[in-house]
Amino acid sequence: MSRPPPRRGRLPGEQPQKPRNRHEDRLVRRGHRLLVGDTVIVEIKSVSEITDIHKAQMLSYLKTAGKRVGLILNFAKPTLDIKRMVNRF
């Protein structure tokens, strides 16, 4: 059975993901995350700097999802800031 072609402007397997956090028994959604090609997690941010906390978050996402590679994209500066993270299992 053949798959329908991907929608224009999207990669096959691209799925917008919203992280889910529990806070006082309420489900809280925060941030913007994509899973591209069922391989790479992409975190979109707009912060002054990518900090160690952001890196630790990405490693946590990678371990939880069982993925190896993640990208943190920071759009807060005039030039795009990209940090590549690798989960070494």
Q: Where are the domains of the chain?
A: 15-86
pLDDT for position 56? 94
Instruction: Note the pTM of the prediction, 2 decimals.
Output: 0.63
- For every residue of 16-78, DSSP letters joined together read EE--EEEETTEEEE-SEEEEETTTEEEEEE--SS--HHHHHHHHHHHHHHT-SEEEEEE-SSS
Model pLDDT for residues 38-57, shown as the tens digit of each residue:
788 999 998 999 999 999 99
Model pLDDT for residues 8-17, shown as the tens digit of each residue:
555 555 555 5
Model pLDDT for residues 55-71, shown as the tens digit of each residue:
999 999 999 889 999 99
